[in-house]
Amino acid sequence: MELSVFNSKGQDTGRKVSLSDSIFGVEPNEHVMYLDVKQYLANKRQGTHKSKERSEMSGSTKKLGRQKGGGGARRGDINSPVLVGGARVFGPVPRDYSFKLNKKTKQLARKSAFSAKIKDNAIFIVENIDFESPKTKDFEALLKSFNVDTEVKVDGKVKKLRKKSLLVLSKPNKNVYLSARNIQKTGVVLSSDMNTYNILNTSVILLTEDALADIENNLKD
């Protein structure tokens, strides 16, 4: 599989690069992608939620009514869960939501995500980008050349909607990061930080040539 290489202005350079079929040409496995995304989101949860149970509530422990014959549900003190303002039964307690996934499973998930995006024509290869100084308008011009803006009609009016875009670099570049920082729905990440969630949660992925080499090296069998 081959893709054209674009320059920093979004123009076709006439060159092409070959993509590894073992990474960008596999049959997408939806279940492993689901598991990898689930793990990523689970690891981000703080898990600090807590509600008080009846032993932790402040209130009298006096028994309110007789055990039998009152006509209502049995209850002891005012902290009983059957009363309004009482304690909560089996409420949330602090916990760790993270779980383990095998390395091969996570690799297959990333390969599946890349292959799915290739089928959607959502991945573009660009030359290694290095702005001389932080310029938001230069980065904006790069994005517009890849049709990140779409027009839709809402109540008879034409509105512009921007697709999510992601630029993948092989190494940190401060000027590129600062150029993209103020643009909505746009992100800049390193190839080493790519994960299944990032891949699936964007509409246009721009890979620099060095980043492509890093990805193929990291995901090779």
Given this model, what pLDDT does residue 102 score? 95
pLDDT at 158 exceeding the cut of 90: no
Cα 201 off chain centre by: 5
**What three-state secondary structure class fits 171?**
coil
Q: Which residues contact residue 140 at a Cβ distance below 8 angstroms, ignoring those fewer than 6 apart?
A: 183
Query: In degrees rounded to 5, what are phi and psi of residue 12?
Result: -70, 125
Whether the predicted model's global pTM rises above the 0.85 cut: no
Residue 94 is assigned to a structural domain of this protein: no
**Structural element, H or E, at residue 143:** helix 136-144
C-alpha to C-alpha distance for 26 and 30, rounded to whole angstroms: 12
DSSP-derived secondary structure for 9-75: TS-EEEEEEEPPHHHHSSPP-HHHHHHHHHHHHHHH---------GGGS-S-----S-SSSSSS---
Evaluate whether residue 178 is within a structural domain.
Answer: yes
- Cβ neighbours of residue 110 under 8 Å, at least 6 residues apart? 36, 194, 195, 196, 199, 219
Q: Does residue 189 fall inside a structural domain?
A: yes
If you search the block for the tokens 């995006």, which residue do you land on? 117
Domain harbouring 111, CATH code: 3.40.1370.10
Task: Give the pLDDT score at 71.
Answer: 86
Report the 10 Å Cβ neighbour count for 62.
Answer: 8
User: In whole angstroms, how far apart are CA 206 and each of 89, 165, 190?
Assistant: 50, 8, 12
- Does 135 map to a domain? yes
Q: Is residue 198 part of a domain?
A: yes
Quick one: what percent of the chain has pLDDT higher than 70? 100
The pLDDT-based confidence of 130 (bands split at 50, 70, 90) is confident
* Contact in structure between 97 and 47 (CB atoms under 8 Å): yes
Q: Can you tell me whether residue 208 is helix, strand or coil?
A: strand
CA distances from 39 to 4, 92, 99, 106, 137 (A): 34, 20, 7, 10, 37
Predicted local confidence at residue 12, as pLDDT: 84
| Selection from 22-26, 34-38, 163-167 with the highest mean pLDDT | 34-38
With respect to residue 37, please indicate whether it lies within any of the assigned structural domains: no
Strands 165-169 and 204-208: parallel
Q: Is residue 80 part of a domain?
A: no
Please state the domain count of the chain: 1
For residue 190, pLDDT over 80 is answered with yes
Residue 162 pLDDT exceeds 90:
no
User: 43's torsion region: left (phi>0), alpha (psi -120 to 50) or beta?
Assistant: alpha
Residue 49 inside a domain? The answer is: no
Residue 205: pLDDT band (50, 70, 90) is: very high
- pLDDT at position 176, please? 92
The two three-digit tokens of residue 109, written as one number = 């998930």
Residue 9: give the domain boundaries: 2-29+102-219
